[in-house]
Chain A
């Protein structure tokens, strides 16, 4: 029977193909990276440098959880096919990376391969790829000598077989991960800009949140050369990590280098205050940047120009709304909701209170193309980061129970169209969607 032969042939070809693919993945992962790397001796200075770099890379954000020893892993990360758990990267020989050579460490960090298989790109090797050999060695020294070994086992993922097979990740890595080459500054580049680029494109892994992803989940751009998608903003959970480019509203166009550096170190500048996941980044990572590194990162970010940079003018404050409120006119839709819920902190003039309550007038987050951050914050509240340089922490309460979807809609539209803000409207349906996503229990 021909059709039986046909099925048999297809089946054999399929199985052989599958085995070949799996085999290729196996070999590819086994031989990724360097076989052997020589590293400098682990002096206290090198370990300290590694500790600093670990802060810049914010390894603790994923590899440390409250109640457990530092870097012993265990953070649950949800994927559509099941949850994965971050690993123990303390020097414990059984459960951690105690048996990793420098080459093994480099392979994991920059190539995304460890223990013979490709890592889920939750580990941002797609950003760490550019780490220089000296810095890799320092990080290695820190994680081997500077972090106490923790006997904490790694929790296997909740992903069921066959979805738990890892070999497809090899192909993803080959297709989409940037080539793991250590950072080389452009010949003409300013040294400070280069330093900032190294950090922002690399250990800082800013693009992992601030650059949009393709449908196949890789970042659409990893350097400015890749085009205007780079750091142009992306939706993460129910926030819009804003554009870090320079242009019109919704970007860093209005920010100065100093303000940006201050923001990295303290979580606040007169232009805006961190919220959501960025608060954690400030608290655990960027507040520890040296002043020079913070300025370098800021200088680099300010050097990324849109083609149309300069065409949009600076933000122009418009006092009309404030004048109306001051004179008893709250007829604009959303105005009374603003007075009832927001004005005490963000002030009727929309200018907030410097580095305490963020200004809303001209605020890049408020004016982003996607209003989701504003909606999320109104519904769920927010808390500014507490840092060594700015120890006071200010919290905005949640207004989810006080405001209906329509109230929030009116409020968002009021804020995005007042005081010189000119951003698009939202709808009650959008608000309802965010409410459901962020407050499933109401």
Chain B
């Protein structure tokens, strides 16, 4: 029999970015809040302290900050008729854990969405006709517009001290910024850091080709800065230990650096770590959530009753918890019935490694997750005319590694052997003169790409693992090939001695062994009515009106950018409505 705790106004499941945003806004409104986080408490001091944190083996290779797969992982299969196999070792994506979640060890690339990304189906149909969207491609519009989200994008960028240059300031296109972005109400809060060497070469090459390169918007403060919550952030020094690591300089925006300092002393907020939520509880009608059931550090089952439940446990776990709790109908690709798990998508990436001559000093170890990099957006989203190309979507094309960590980030031309004397000579010859360019591209959603519960494999508590059914579609192969060809064009202008491109081609299935991106999306998508979505425009569950689900699980398809900015804006948009309307009169905020 689970121990029952005292009822609170709101329980938050998962204490990463979305959870911290919700904790702040709900406690601002005076609610009593319990935040449940299955992982450990984490803070810059002592957990990310220099010099212990700059340990590539521990954090970059073994992944000490990540979710322990031994306790819980996912299973993966390519097609609906395949048997799924467990993701036994980390590869394709990494999963966050602990206070701050993946917001601790992300790269800090903080983007918005393009305005047309938020009404993708309508936009594509308008421009290219209905036939441009294959029958099995299940993309759809968001029920919220760029204009509605703009103040929240702006606010989150200010909270995170994002450095960049506005390309579209209130409708005026500005030099140095992204000419394709939606209109911003304000300039970026801090100016960009100068380009690292490969980004400098990229700037020159793209200018020659007539493209408009701009700094990757970077959640790494570049000047002394106080965010809207009164929190100051530290300086980015391009240390080269960004993704996979916590930031020892208080610079990379994370819940710890940006939001938690003002939550620490709030008497109406209690954070419980080591609290592994296994179910969202509901009353007998099934339409009202009554709280969360979790297993604490000692293995005991605990019930936390609450009037309001926020599910913010990361895209994967949001969907898994809905399925484990029996909320909504699981999506069945055979019948197209059900919505929970539908429209899972990912990120399509490619890379060209440029190998320069020995007089070009790349200093590969000087880098950050976003700061110092440069990118172009000409070939992303629908920023270019797709007529006759046979695909929709696109990629940003960017220059700059996040560091030069020798175990994981060593780049060698294909003619260098993998071991032996040739390898030893090759690493010396190439390490300081090589740099990558990359594409980060959209992935559409499809009927046969979805999430469900695995029938065989279980987590450490005996609960079914989440099963991913995913492989690439033609659209993405074509899109990636097109983006990669543009990338190679740029690389050739940069005049390396050699270059080599890694690209997913038809016949190459989704490979979980290689790291690509942690931008997994969908499964609890946002939409205009209960027949096409799991949540409404305020991230409120259609099925359970006192349940709000925040994270990239909301995305009906994936954009060609890091999803954090968009999911945070949706969370702030939701939080504002909860504060304005929901708390005064709880119930469905959008007529079904």
Residues of chain A whose beta carbon lies under 8 Å from any beta carbon of chain B: 344-345, 347, 353-357, 383, 386, 389-395, 397, 402
Contacts and interface: CB of A to CB of B under 8 A. Distances in A.
B414 to A, nearest CB: 34
Given A344-B50, A345-B249, A354-B224, A394 B234 contact: yes
Given A355-B224, A356-B250, A392 B233 contact: yes
Given A354-B224, A395-B45, A402 B230 contact: no
B50 A391 contact: no
Given A344-B50, A354-B224, A391-B264, 4 more contacts: A353-B235, A356-B224, A389-B230, A394-B250
Q: Among A347, A356, A383, which residue has the most Cβ atoms of chain B within 10 A?
A: A356
B489 interface: no
A57 to B, nearest CB: 22
A357 B234 contact: yes
B293 to A, nearest CB: 31
10 nearest CB pairs, A to B: A395-B45, A391-B261, A354-B224, A397-B49, A392-B231, A392-B261, A391-B262, A392-B232, A353-B235, A356-B234
Given A397-B50, A402-B51, A344 B248 contact: yes
Interface string B242-274: 000000111000000100011010000000000
A305 B425 CA distance: 67
B237 interface: yes
A356 B248 CA distance: 13
Given A345-B249, A397-B50, A386 B234 contact: no
Nearest to A399: B51
Contact of A393 (B235, B239, B261): B261
Contacts of A395: 44-46, 49
A392 B249 contact: no
A356 B264 contact: no
Nearest to A393: B261
Interface in B416-430: none
27 contacts: A344-B237, A345-B234, A353-B234, A353-B235, A354-B224, A355-B232, A356-B232, A356-B233, A356-B234, A356-B250, A357-B234, A386-B261, A390-B230, A391-B229, A391-B261, A392-B231, A392-B232, A392-B250, A392-B257, A392-B261, A393-B45, A394-B234, A394-B250, A395-B45, A397-B49, A397-B50, A397-B51
A291 B264 CA distance: 24
Interface in B214-246: 224, 229-235, 237, 239
Contacts of B233: 356, 392
Interface string B365-405: 00000000000000000000000000000000000000000
Contact of B231 (A345, A357, A391): A391
Contacts of A344: 50, 237, 239, 248-249
Contacts of B231: 391-392
Contacts, number: 53
Nearest to B248: A344
A52 B46 CA distance: 34
Nearest to B52: A397
A402 B54 CA distance: 14
Nearest to B53: A397
B224 A353 contact: yes
Contacts of A389: 230
A197 B412 CA distance: 69
A224 to B, nearest CB: 35
Contacts of A355: 224, 232
Contacts of B261: 386, 391-393
A402 B50 CA distance: 11
A410 B382 CA distance: 59
A353 B257 CA distance: 15
Contacts of B44: 395
Contacts of A347: 235
A392 B257 CA distance: 7
B45 A397 contact: yes
A385 to B, nearest CB: 12
Contacts of B49: 395, 397
Contacts of B224: 353-356
A248 B104 CA distance: 44
Contacts of B51: 397, 402
Contacts of B45: 383, 393, 395, 397
Contacts of B250: 356, 392, 394
B444 to A, nearest CB: 41
B518 to A, nearest CB: 26
Nearest to B239: A344
A394 B262 CA distance: 14
Nearest to B258: A392
Contacts of A390: 230, 232
A383 B45 CA distance: 9
A397 B46 CA distance: 8
B28 to A, nearest CB: 14
Contacts of A392: 231-233, 250, 257, 261
A394 B234 CA distance: 9
Contacts of A353: 224, 234-235
Given A386-B264, A402-B51, A391 B230 contact: yes
A393 B45 CA distance: 9
A356 B234 CA distance: 6
Contacts of B248: 344
A390 B233 CA distance: 11
Nearest to A396: B45
Interface string B45-64: 11001110000000000000
A397 B248 CA distance: 10
A274 to B, nearest CB: 15
A383 B224 CA distance: 18
A180 to B, nearest CB: 37
A390 B229 CA distance: 10
A397 B45 CA distance: 8
A390 B264 CA distance: 13
A389 B230 CA distance: 7
A393 B257 CA distance: 9
A284 to B, nearest CB: 13
A186 B261 CA distance: 44
Nearest to A343: B237
Contacts of B229: 391
A347 B237 CA distance: 9
Q: Among A353, A389, A395, A402, which residue has the most Cβ atoms of chain B within 10 A?
A: A353
Contacts of B235: 347, 353, 356
B262 to A, nearest CB: 5
A8 B491 CA distance: 106
Nearest to A355: B232
Contacts of A397: 45-46, 49-51
B265 to A, nearest CB: 8
B350 to A, nearest CB: 33
A336 to B, nearest CB: 15
A345 B250 CA distance: 10
Nearest to B229: A391
